[in-house]
């Protein structure tokens, strides 16, 4: 189905009005037959000839898929990733892709699915005292935030550990709170199926290399888009630095004290690095790196009224931070190409998406769960979700509202509700300011 003219979507209201009528005629996504063998944790160097066609037939074809035409910028030549995708987060249009449905090891980008599945379960103020069994089964060499046995943490602390430090220890504690790793894996797989992320098979909730654990650039992008519907998810994904509780110790006077230490987001496009500047407009989402997966990353950025999602999996080019550099190049291309290039596919909605005036599972405030304490997603003390943002009344850094969607709720159209089964826009996305 040809994409609507981009000039017709200069405002969210206009976009909604145009696209809601198109929703009625949108074809259902068709999945390619599942592989006859179980997913391999060690894929070959070449993509399979036949892959899933969820989101469109071209997305199931190996190689680069893009509709180059007059006025469309040429794709960057120095992108070596095995698989990548550039998509419009609001409309769901896939602007370009390369082996989008290749089932590869996801590394810690799988934590996006973990968070999207478990975030609504507890209020951020809930507390948990860690016992030894909570930390059992963590793989050797795992990334850790520094959780200690017999110490008490809030759910907010634990999610900061998951998002900022990619802490497998935080994942295992939250899994223990969720009736164990086995139950968490089952729920993650069920949620992936609900999202139509059919390339994804979860074995370990933290993304640690495991036989049969796979996802795809397409699926990770779907998962990120779903997660960004949740206010808490958006906040944690955009947090640059935060304070994390340390270990309780006795001071010189014998008094028990517990100091905090600073943790920084390992997403280099968000936090920056020596050879990677902070990307203008970046607002998350999640990075990963394991022996089998190589480097993986899904990012979301907003610029000039456009919100794009880019996923990059396993760059073949050697070099420090290469996954971020290739992601930045694809973002640059996407922002130049948006409104000019015809899409090659789409990000499909969840199975349960129904015609409604709000997000699936969201309350009227637009929050899709996770806070539970009535905080409305405001960051806790010590967290800095947006560098350079004005300070809120509680002393934490504020979050600006992009896209002009009042209260974070989807816009209701005169004469009818927005049909989310075709277009699933991203409400009140965090806008990143350019930092010096």
Among 111, 230, 306, 325, the active-site one is 111
Rounded-to-5 percentages of helix, strand, coil across the chain: 25, 20, 55
> 166 catalytic, yes or no?
yes
Among 142, 166, 216, 379, the active-site one is 166
Q: How far is CA 43 from CA 38, 76, 218, 412, in A?
A: 11, 25, 17, 45
DSSP 169: H
Peptide bond before residue 310 is cis, with ω within 30 degrees of 0: no
Which alpha helices (H) appear in 94-180, and where do they start and end?
A: 111-118, 155-165, 168-177
Among 16, 20, 108, 143, the active-site one is 108
What are the strands, taking DSSP E only, across 171-255? 241-250
Residue 404 CA to residue 62 CA, distance in Å, equals 38
Residue 130 CA to residue 110 CA, distance in Å, equals 23
Q: For residues 123, 124, 126 and 131, what is the CA-based torsion angle, rounded to 10 degrees?
A: 120
Structure tokens at 58: 């071209």
Nearest to 226 by CA among 333, 368, 340, 123: 368
> 108 catalytic, yes or no?
yes
Nearest to 82 by CA among 50, 52, 45: 45
Residue 306 CA to residue 295 CA, distance in Å, equals 26
Structure tokens at 27: 């074809």
Query: What are the residues whose beta carbons fall under 8 Å from the beta carbon of 184, sequence distance 6 or more?
Result: 114, 117, 118, 174, 175, 178, 205
What are the DSSP calls for 40-84, one per residue?
PSS--SS--SS---TT-GGGGSSSEE-B--TTPPPPPS---EEEE
Tell me which residues are annotated as active site: 108, 111, 166
């Amino acid at each position: 189905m040809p994409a609507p003219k981009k000039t017709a979507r200069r405002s969210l209201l206009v976009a909604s009005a145009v696209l809601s009528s198109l929703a009625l005629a949108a074809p259902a996504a068709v999945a390619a037959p599942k592989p006859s063998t179980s997913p391999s944790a060690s894929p070959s160097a070449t993509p399979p000839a036949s892959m899933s066609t969820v989101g469109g037939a071209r997305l199931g074809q190996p190689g680069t898929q893009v509709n180059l035409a007059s006025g469309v910028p040429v794709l960057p030549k120095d992108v070596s990733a095995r698989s990548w995708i550039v998509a419009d987060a609001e409309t769901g249009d896939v602007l370009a892709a390369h082996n989008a449905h290749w089932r590869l090891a996801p590394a810690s980008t799988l934590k996006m699915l973990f968070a999207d599945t478990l975030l609504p379960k507890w209020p951020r103020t809930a507390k948990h005292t860690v016992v030894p069994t909570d930390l059992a089964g963590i793989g050797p060499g795992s990334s850790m935030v520094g959780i200690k046995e017999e110490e008490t943490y809030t759910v907010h602390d634990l999610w900061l550990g998951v998002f900022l430090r990619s802490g497998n220890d935080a994942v295992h504690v939250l899994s223990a709170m969720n009736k164990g790793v086995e139950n968490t894996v089952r729920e993650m797989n069920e949620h992936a199926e609900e999202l139509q992320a059919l390339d994804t098979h979860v074995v370990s909730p933290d993304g640690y290399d495991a036989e049969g654990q796979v996802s795809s650039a397409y699926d990770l992008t779907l998962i990120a888009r779903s997660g960004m519907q949740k206010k808490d998810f958006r906040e944690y994904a955009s947090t640059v630095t935060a304070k994390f509780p340390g270990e309780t110790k006795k001071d010189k006077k014998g008094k028990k004290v517990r100091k905090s230490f600073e943790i920084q987001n390992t997403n280099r496009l968000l936090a920056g690095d020596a050879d990677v500047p902070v990307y203008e407009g970046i607002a998350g989402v999640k990075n990963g790196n394991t022996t089998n997966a190589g480097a993986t990353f899904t990012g979301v950025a907003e610029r000039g009224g456009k919100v794009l999602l880019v996923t990059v999996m396993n760059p073949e080019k050697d070099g420090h931070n290469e996954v971020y550099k290739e992601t930045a190049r694809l973002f640059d291309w996407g922002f130049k190409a948006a409104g000019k290039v015809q899409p090659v596919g789409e990000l499909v909605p969840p199975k349960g998406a129904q015609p409604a005036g709000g997000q699936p599972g969201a309350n009227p405030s637009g929050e899709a769960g996770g806070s539970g304490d009535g905080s409305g997603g405001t960051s806790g003390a010590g967290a800095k979700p947006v560098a350079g943002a004005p300070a809120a009344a509680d002393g934490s850094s504020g979050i600006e509202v992009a896209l002009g969607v009042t209260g974070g709720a989807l816009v209701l159209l005169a004469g009818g509700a927005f049909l989310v089964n075709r277009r699933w826009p991203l409400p009140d996305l965090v806008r990143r300011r350019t930092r010096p």
